[in-house]
Chain A
Amino acid sequence: MTLLNIENLTVSFPQHDGVVQAVRGVSLRVSPGESIGIVGESGSGKSVTCMAALRLLREPPSRIVADRLELGGVDMLRAGRTQLAAVRGRIAAMVFQDPMTAFDPVFTIGHQIVETIRAHRDLSKSAATTEAAALLARVEIKTPDAILNSYPHQLSGGMLQRAMIAMALSCRPQILFADEPTTALDVTIQAQILHLIKQLQAELGMALIMVTHDLGVVAETVDRVVVMYGGRVMETAPVQDIFDAPLHPYTQALMASMPGRTPGKQRLIEIAGASPNPANPPTGCPFHPRCAVADAQCAAEAPAFRALSESRAAACWRLA
């Protein structure tokens, strides 16, 4: 059974002077309980892919086209407003990058968690409040009752992100989208939050999609990695293989530019060039202008995404 099934997803934003293609033909399957990391640089389409999966993008201005976009058996492209609302929170939930802005400033944390619980489950207010306190305890908040009565501006970022995770888990989703959940937090809190997410994922048996540009985050939390570049999936592989034996030239370049792999002081290795302009992407493989092994074929035609072994797949002419 597949929990999330995306086939050939394209997300574009028509502008006055052309079309910005944020996502270009992405396919992704996630099984229950599986944890997946989507990595890529800014503008590679990783966040937009998740937003599109939940239909959270405003349409217009965005345009979402896909051969298939199913979440928990619901056809997200055909689902109406009420059906979407039922899927969001119940089947899939999302944790955002900046916890400071993810809560409504005029209500207490408790009010917001209770409202979320009651939106999906038929519980009395007091039962929902008890449940909310239990959820906060579950995300390792020491004084749940004090936090329930706090307004968002009274809490630290780490505390709010914990509360956000508690709120996202309040209706026991089968899949959790975490869109750079630690980017806005400082490093010591990052590790705690990642550990918490991983632990809850294992305990609750839910699937996890971790969107990040931090390879360290990926290494710590997920089983399988999807590498995106220029709105396309470049490579997908088990997390161990991505680090030990990357196949795609982009993944290889990415790994080579990761700081701190070898001890000692040294210059950072970078990938020459800049990421493609989504309004005017290069023809063929999006990575070919920066690729060391590209040739005329790479510039002319985009490589298909092909399975290379049972667990690995990549889109590159050099890998046959």
Chain B
Amino acid sequence: MSAPKPRSPLYFAWRRFADNKAALVAGAILLLIILMAIFAPLISKTGYADQKFLTQAYAFPQAEFWFGVDDLGRDFFTRIVYGARVSLTIGFTAAAFSLLIGIPLGAIAGYYGGRADWCVMRLIELFSVVPPLLAAMLLGALTNGGFATIVLIAALFGWVQVCLLVRAQVKAIAQKEFVRAAQALGATPGYIIRRHLIPNAISPIIVGFVLAIPLAMMLEASLSFLGIGVPPPIPSWGQMINVGMNFMYFYWHLAVFPTAALAITVLATTLFGDGLRDALDPTLKGR
């Protein structure tokens, strides 16, 4: 018996993903934004806080300043590009921390059931009934905002979704015969969770991770907009929208570009995440 060359499940997932044009375009845009954020110093001519163009403050978009100049004489394109750094970093770290909390709790609740499940579910309910923005404002005000606080708050509210996804998947897989077979051959509960349940739950974990990113980015933008997020002069889109709002009727570019940047990034991430979910879960019937 000669088995054909094994094609990994990833190959089929990629094929399904490539069929979804919206997700593919969203992925490409997201990749572009990520590359821009990484290579920000190379594609911008000044630092993000350099007030080099004070005499040209409020300049409209033109060949020299693609996105114009802001009220404090800084190149606005540079600010937007560096803003992507802040937004993406917070989005990704918060999503990573969401996994860090959500996966173990979800796996424990799903595998052990009973009292462990009860405790985790009550904890989830506790976090679901508190409006994230209000809690974030309270925490942000108490700790004066800052990068770490925003990540912490976003993770604190982002893990719930991941935890529920993992729990449901683990609960379903734990009933499978191969888990019992592994037990019968001497696998410990920890081993089963690490080597059987989580690898089998990897699709919802990836999807949960990607979908947690836009939530964290929106939270960061909201907090920065309200003035308790990332402190100036570090550029944050939310903060820029807040400033740009004041000049909206006279210097439209100060409000439009950060808003568009935020909207496009969040939309691209969400579409990408949706595409991933459909690609990784072939049993899910189309939209």
Contact, CB under 8 Å: B200 / A89: no
Query: What does the 1/0 interface line of B6-44 toward A look like (CB < 8 Å)?
Result: 100100000000000000000000000000000000000
Contact, CB under 8 Å: A88 / B183: yes
CB distance from B282 to the nearest CB of A (A): 13
Residues of B within 8 A of A155 (CB): 1, 3
CB distance from A280 to the nearest CB of B (A): 27
Q: How far is the CA of A102 from the CA of B183 in the complex (A)?
A: 11
Contact, CB under 8 Å: B186 / A149: no
Stretch in A79-87, A207-215, A242-250 with 4+ CB within 8 Å of B: A79-87
Given contacts A147-B3, A155-B3, contact A102 B177 (CB under 8 A): yes
Stretch in A33-41, A93-101, A187-195, A270-278 with 4+ CB within 8 Å of B: A93-101
- Whether a CB of chain A sits under 8 angstroms from the CB of B144 is no
- Whether a CB of chain B sits under 8 angstroms from the CB of A120 is yes
Given contacts A88-B185, A119-B186, A143-B1, contact A56 B180 (CB under 8 A): yes
Q: How far is the CA of A119 from the CA of B184 in the complex (A)?
A: 12
Contact, CB under 8 Å: A101 / B178: yes
Residues of B within 8 A of A120 (CB): 186
Given contacts A96-B180, A108-B6, A154-B6, contact A142 B1 (CB under 8 A): yes
- Whether a CB of chain B sits under 8 angstroms from the CB of A8 is no
- Whether a CB of chain A sits under 8 angstroms from the CB of B187 is yes
- Please classify the interface of chain B as helix (H, G, I), strand (E, B), loop, or mixed, using the class held by over half of its residues: helix
Q: How far is the CA of A87 from the CA of B202 in the complex (A)?
A: 30
Q: How far is the CA of A56 from the CA of B9 in the complex (A)?
A: 31
Residues of A within 8 A of B177 (CB): 96, 98, 101-102
Query: What does the 1/0 interface line of B164-191 toward A look like (CB < 8 Å)?
Result: 0000000000001110111111111101
**8 Å CB contacts to B: which residues of A47-66?**
54, 56, 60
Contact, CB under 8 Å: A81 / B2: no
- Whether a CB of chain A sits under 8 angstroms from the CB of B199 is yes
Residues of A within 8 A of B1 (CB): 142-143, 146-147, 155-156, 159
CB distance from B117 to the nearest CB of A (A): 13
CB distance from A99 to the nearest CB of B (A): 9
CB distance from B25 to the nearest CB of A (A): 30
**8 Å CB contacts to B: which residues of A148-166?**
149-151, 154-156, 159, 164
Residues of A within 8 A of B178 (CB): 101-105
Contact of A81 among B4, B114, B189, B196 (CB under 8 A): B189
Contact of B185 among A81, A93, A149, A159 (CB under 8 A): A93
Contact, CB under 8 Å: A116 / B185: yes
Query: What does the 1/0 interface line of B192-226 toward A look like (CB < 8 Å)?
Result: 00011001101000000000000000000000000
Residues of B within 8 A of A119 (CB): 185-187, 191
CB distance from B7 to the nearest CB of A (A): 9
CB distance from A143 to the nearest CB of B (A): 6
Given contacts A101-B177, A103-B178, A104-B196, contact A56 B184 (CB under 8 A): yes
Contact, CB under 8 Å: B180 / A150: no
Instruction: Among B4, B6, B180, B185, find the residue whose CB has the most chain A CB atoms closer than 10 A.
Output: B185
Q: Which residues of A contact B (CB under 8 A)?
A: 54, 56, 60, 81-82, 85-90, 93-94, 96, 98, 101-108, 115-116, 119-120, 142-143, 146-147, 149-151, 154-156, 159, 164, 167-168, 170-171, 177
6 contacts between A and B (CB under 8 A): A89-B184, A103-B178, A106-B199, A146-B2, A167-B185, A171-B185
- If A94-B181, A142-B1 are given as contacts, then 18 extra A-B residue pairs at C-beta distance below 8 Å, sorted by A number, are A56-B184, A82-B188, A88-B185, A89-B184, A89-B187, A90-B186, A101-B177, A101-B178, A102-B178, A103-B178, A104-B199, A104-B200, A105-B200, A108-B6, A115-B195, A143-B2, A154-B3, A168-B184
